[in-house]
Amino acid sequence: MYRLSETLRATHSQDGAILLDIQRGRMFNLNPVGARILELLKTGSAESAIADEISREFEVAREIADQDTHEFIHALKEHRLIEELK
């Protein structure tokens, strides 16, 4: 389970999302898949459940959804936009 940074602001559109880290002054542009992963993270979904949902919604192989989800979550952690709850 993950928690989004309190300094993160997001706006969503049909094209994806824009994230703003107000503490560090950085912006991130997300495609629709990244925006959906972020939405699922907000609801407390586990990484495997997110990959299942991405595979179903975007009609991609489960293995690809799993890899993409893992890499995206790793990037969010690297940029300190989310943290893993213990």
19-73 per-position pLDDT tens digit? 999 999 999 999 999 999 999 999 999 999 999 999 999 999 999 999 999 999 9
Which parts of 1-86 fold into alpha helices (H)?
32-42, 47-58, 62-78
Tell me how far apart the alpha carbons of residues 49 and 27 are, in angstroms, rounded to a whole number: 27
Q: What CATH number is associated with residue 35?
A: 1.10.10.1150
Q: Which domain range does residue 66 map to?
A: 2-84
Per-residue model confidence as pLDDT tens digits over 36-50: 999 999 999 999 999
The count of domains in the chain is 1
* Cα Dmax for the chain: 37
pTM, full prediction = 0.90
